[in-house]
């Protein structure tokens, strides 16, 4: 297994795509955190949120809006093999398809940590800088702030595993990325607004089990709920739900895509 994991790590770092996505994520998250901090402080119609919750929402915005980056990276770890037809020699070297999927998920963890650190550090740096410039306490001495930041890294790491699972279930690269972008950027945000509006508390409860909501729950801070209050899971519940999505996708892929002849 260690050899398979090492091989998957080498495949990832042998391309330039990882650092391009890493830089894009860091820059984008820094921009969003700075803009969010400015708008929430300066807007006369800002939502009524406790200062600590407000700061935590800014510092964990990568978990709310940037999780698509580690998810895409995880997806590409599988779909690139099918697109470039390297899946055949990979399976010839080690015919165990279950071991291959497991190795990809294990290898995705440190990659997810890397993206989690980049996104979270960018948010804290830009967000705290903007708050300080506006004469607002960035609360960097609060233990809860750093707890949320650490859990933000963990949540983004899990998203990389979810991406691997999705790529396993949907190996067509274009289809998997389009599906990922459509769901995370359109379908889920709309569902998280519509379900509570249509079904009240029951709808809010259902919405809290969606992948993005589960990721936010892991940090204990929800940017979405700052504007549209609703249910949020405990951090460990969010972790179980998000990990569950990744494992479910991986199992589906193992029983479908990786069960068929690949050639």
Residue found under tokens 């999927």: 101
| Alpha carbon distances (Å) from 246 to 80, 125, 137, 188, 194 | 18, 30, 38, 17, 25
- Start-to-end CA distance of the chain, whole Å, equals 23
Does the pLDDT of residue 44 top 60, yes or no? no
Does the pLDDT of residue 94 top 90, yes or no? no
Mean pLDDT within 73-100: 89
Mean pLDDT within 84-112: 90
Cβ atoms of residues 90 and 171 within 8 Å? no
Mean pLDDT within 165-186: 94
pLDDT band at 133 (very low <50, low <70, confident <90, very high): very high
How far is the C-alpha of 40 from the C-alpha of 176, rounded, in Å? 35
Q: What is the predicted pLDDT for the residue at 231? A: 57
Question: pLDDT tens across 23-42, in order?
Answer: 999 999 999 999 999 988 87
pLDDT band at 16 (very low <50, low <70, confident <90, very high): confident
Q: What is the predicted pLDDT for the residue at 60? A: 94
Cβ atoms of residues 152 and 120 within 8 Å? yes
Question: pLDDT tens across 200-251, in order?
Answer: 888 888 989 999 999 999 998 777 665 555 557 889 999 999 999 999 999 9
How far is the C-alpha of 87 from the C-alpha of 99, rounded, in Å? 13
Mean pLDDT within 93-104: 90
Q: What is the predicted pLDDT for the residue at 200? A: 82
Q: What is the predicted pLDDT for the residue at 102? A: 94
Q: What is the predicted pLDDT for the residue at 46? A: 61
73: tokens are: 């990276």
Q: With CA atoms as reference, report the closest residue to 217 among 108, 57, 106.
A: 57
Q: Over the chain, what is the mean pLDDT?
A: 89
Q: What is the predicted pLDDT for the residue at 229? A: 52
- Dihedral (CA of 187, 189, 192, 194) sign: negative
pTM of the model: 0.92
Q: What is the predicted pLDDT for the residue at 193? A: 87
């Amino acid at each position: 297994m260690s050899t398979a994991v090492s091989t998957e790590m080498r495949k990832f770092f042998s391309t330039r795509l990882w650092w391009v996505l890493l830089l894009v994520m860091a820059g984008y998250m820094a921009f969003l955190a700075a803009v969010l901090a400015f708008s929430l402080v300066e807007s006369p119609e800002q939502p009524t949120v406790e200062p600590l919750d407000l700061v935590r929402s800014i510092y964990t915005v990568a978990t709310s809006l940037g999780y698509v980056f580690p998810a895409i990276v995880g997806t590409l770890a599988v779909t690139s093999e099918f697109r470039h037809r390297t899946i055949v020699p990979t399976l010839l070297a080690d015919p165990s398809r279950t071991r291959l999927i497991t190795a990809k998920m294990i290898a995705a963890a440190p990659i997810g940590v890397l993206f989690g650190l980049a996104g979270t550090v960018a948010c804290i740096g830009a967000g705290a800088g903007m708050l300080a410039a506006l004469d607002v306490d960035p609360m960097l001495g609060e233990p809860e702030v750093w707890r949320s930041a650490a859990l933000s890294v963990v949540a983004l790491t899990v998203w990389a595993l979810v991406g691997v699972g999705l790529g396993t279930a949907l190996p067509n690269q274009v289809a998997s990325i389009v599906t990922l972008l459509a769901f995370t950027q359109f379908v889920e945000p709309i569902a998280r607004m519509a379900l509570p509006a249509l079904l009240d508390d029951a709808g809010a409860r259902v919405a809290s089990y969606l992948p993005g909501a589960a990721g936010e729950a892991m940090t204990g801070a929800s940017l979405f709920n700052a504007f549209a209050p609703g249910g949020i899971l405990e951090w460990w519940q969010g972790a179980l739900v998000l990990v569950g999505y990744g494992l479910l996708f991986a199992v589906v892929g193992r029983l479908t895509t990786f069960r068929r002849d690949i050639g």
